[in-house]
Amino acid sequence: MTGDDPLDEGTAPQADGGERAASEPHTDGGVAGADDVTLDPWGSSTVSDYRKLFEEFGIEEFDEILADVPNPHYLMRRGVIFGHRDYRPVAEAMQEGEPFAALSGFMPTGDPHIGHKLVFDEIIWHQRQGGDAYALIADLEAHSARGLSWDEIDEHARNYLLSLLALGFDPEEGTLYRQSENREVQDLAFELGIEANFSELGAIYGFDGETDVSHMQSVVTQMADILYPQLEEPKPTVIPVGPDQDPHVRLARDLAARMRFFKVTKAYASFELTDDERALVARAYDAREEYAEDPEMPRCEGAATWLEAERATADGLPADDVTLESTVEKLENGGKEPLRPRTRFFDRQATDEAFEALIDAVEGEKRVYESHVDAFDLEVAEAEELARRLEVEHGGYGFLPPSSIYHRFMTGLTGGKMSSSIPASHISLLDDPEEGYDKVKSATTGGRETAAEQREKGGRADECPVYELYAYLLAGDDDEFAKRVYDECVGGERLCGDCKEQAAQLMREFLEDHQEKRAEVEELLEAADVTLESPRR
């Protein structure tokens, strides 16, 4: 959630997002390539093959949930938003008309550009779907991690907010704030900091003895930003980000869980299991017909023997030796205790009053232990809802793990990295419309060496920064137009000169319109409940 922005980084290399069938052309402008995948929120990420993110970091493909999203945004339909982490609760809340939220933030280190517009659009779309929308200026991070003065921050912050409002964010229905001015965020960051430590931040972000304390503090502040929409009540919350920001999302999800009073899990006996151990015991329980004298009451020792025997078979077990040995040892120590499925409420940091209330609230058969309660007549989903309700009633947060969606990076107009420090590589939302026109006309393309070769072989739209402009911005909500440009390019009908001329004219029109709207919302920004001039100057 950093880079040039805490929750968006539109300045990293473009990459391919996976293969599509021939009948479904890849029309998002992705560039093919496979290289290393590193995720660094402060701008040195190289994401060369988005498919690796699914394998290495557990990001799910957005296509698999697209049908469940009401009125999906064109960035979703075109695969520009390519992945998600746990977005289903947000989609379900939209479908059911239940509360949900979307939050993103921007580190004001320069002018807002067309890469940032992706996140502006995602926040505004979620607001229009009925969500509580939050947009923040990460001024504490800009000051600590990038060394910007408060005067510089104020100038850039104003420009970000004007563009956000000009694109359609409703400040009366949404929330705008600066990190430095939001005491609730700072107080929450303090509480979250109790659950994080230096070793963990070092492992995630590479912090070492040379990292200043304020930079580390800015990370915990970002965690508070992500969870801030849930302070009044727990609700599904989505954070739109580039994939380089995923480390922030994963840490926020971990901290949200650590702040909870109770952890709810499936259990099979009185002793605790890790998630990996639990998976093995579940497998042994499902196989009880093979080893138990009474399948209605399989014993721990029998399950241990079965797991040992199963390890020796040709197929083996999907677990490492350490996990298998620890599981077998726990089962052997359990002896003749029956394996019996139950739902467990594990006491993480509940108050005595909350723990007692939980015991009273669990109906049906239950077992009460020093640090957990086992319920035999409750499903996990019911138990999670009960645990959250009791936590909130007794002064806890009840945080739901935040969700995220991931958009592709835009390629620079010069063909390499889109960077705020390379003016020709990007188009600022503040650029003079004629300058925007000229930048597109000068942009690198995915065209062939000659017009004859282009007509014969077709253009390489998937490697073309100009086609990306159509897919990400210039085609707007018109999927047919975006697909027609793509088909004409790869079919050899569209030549680069005419294509760039059309794109350049559309870019000029977009900038003219956007800057007119920026002027129109000046008064709206002045009236908004957000500090425009920092008292920290």
List pLDDT tens digits, range 182-207. 999 999 999 999 999 888 988 888 88
Does the pLDDT of residue 293 top 60, yes or no?
yes
How far apart CA 463 and CA 523 sit, in angstroms, is 42
| One domain for residues 246 and 111 | yes
Is 17 inside any structural domain?
A: no
pLDDT for 528: 94
Percent of the chain with pLDDT over 90: 73
Q: How confident is the model at residue 42 (pLDDT cuts 50, 70, 90)?
A: very low
Nearest-Å Rg of the Cα atoms of the chain is 26
Is 24 inside any structural domain?
A: no
Q: How confident is the model at residue 32 (pLDDT cuts 50, 70, 90)?
A: very low
| One domain for residues 98 and 202 | yes
pLDDT for 183: 96
| One domain for residues 386 and 324 | yes
pLDDT for 415: 83
CATH code for position 431? 1.10.240.10
Does the pLDDT of residue 29 top 70, yes or no?
no
Angle of helix 213-227 relative to helix 183-193, nearest 10 degrees? 110
Q: In what order do the strands lie in the sheet with 262-267?
A: 262-267, 342-347, 372-375, 366-368
Q: How confident is the model at residue 216 (pLDDT cuts 50, 70, 90)?
A: confident
Q: Which residues contact 326 (CB under 8 A, 6 or more apart)?
A: 274, 277
CATH code for position 74? 3.40.50.620
Q: How confident is the model at residue 132 (pLDDT cuts 50, 70, 90)?
A: very high
Residue 109: which of 5, 19, 22, 191 has the closest Cα? 5
374 in Cβ contact with 344 (< 8 Å): yes
DSSP track, 93-115 = HHHHT---EEEEEE--SS--BHH
pLDDT for 312: 78
Is 276 inside any structural domain?
A: yes
Q: Which runs of E-coded beta strand occur in 65-189?
A: 81-85, 101-106, 132-137, 175-178
| One domain for residues 150 and 269 | no
No. of helices (H) and no. of strands (E), the chain: 21, 13
Return the sign of the alpha-carbon dihedral for residues 420, 426, 430, 434.
Answer: positive
Is 534 inside any structural domain?
A: no
Identity of the highest mean pLDDT range in 292-296, 423-427, 532-536: 292-296
| One domain for residues 140 and 246 | yes
Q: How many domains does the chain have?
A: 3
How far apart CA 136 and CA 175 sit, in angstroms, is 8
| One domain for residues 244 and 113 | yes
| One domain for residues 211 and 297 | no
Residue 161: which of 487, 532, 419 has the closest Cα? 532
How far apart CA 129 and CA 122 sit, in angstroms, is 11
Q: How confident is the model at residue 27 (pLDDT cuts 50, 70, 90)?
A: very low
CB atoms within 10 A of CB 535: 8
Is 255 inside any structural domain?
A: yes
Is 221 inside any structural domain?
A: yes
- Using the 8-state DSSP alphabet, how is residue 144 labeled? H
Is 506 inside any structural domain?
A: yes
What average pLDDT score do residues 443-472 get? 92
| One domain for residues 157 and 201 | yes
pLDDT for 256: 97
The torsion angles phi and psi of 196, rounded to 5 degrees, stand at -115, 155
Cα-based angle 394, 238, 55 (whole degrees, multiple of 5): 115
**Which two tokens mark 171?**
């400040």
Range of weakest confidence among 80-84, 304-308, 333-337, 531-535: 531-535
pLDDT tens digits, residue range 386-421? Answer: 999 999 999 999 999 999 999 988 888 988 777 776
| One domain for residues 433 and 474 | yes
| One domain for residues 385 and 238 | no
The kind and range of the H/E element at 266 are strand 262-267
Q: In what order do the strands lie in the sheet with 175-178?
A: 60-61, 81-85, 403-407, 237-241, 101-106, 132-137, 175-178
pLDDT for 411: 86
Q: How confident is the model at residue 180 (pLDDT cuts 50, 70, 90)?
A: very high
Q: How confident is the model at residue 8 (pLDDT cuts 50, 70, 90)?
A: very low
515 in Cβ contact with 433 (< 8 Å): yes
| One domain for residues 119 and 195 | yes
Is 8 inside any structural domain?
A: no
Domain range for 114 is 37-260+400-410
The torsion angles phi and psi of 236, rounded to 5 degrees, stand at -60, 135
How far apart CA 109 and CA 121 sit, in angstroms, is 20
| One domain for residues 128 and 173 | yes
Residue 100: which of 78, 80, 125 has the closest Cα? 125
How far apart CA 519 and CA 392 sit, in angstroms, is 44
How far apart CA 238 and CA 126 sit, in angstroms, is 9
How far apart CA 330 and CA 319 sit, in angstroms, is 16
249 in Cβ contact with 226 (< 8 Å): yes
pLDDT for 18: 33
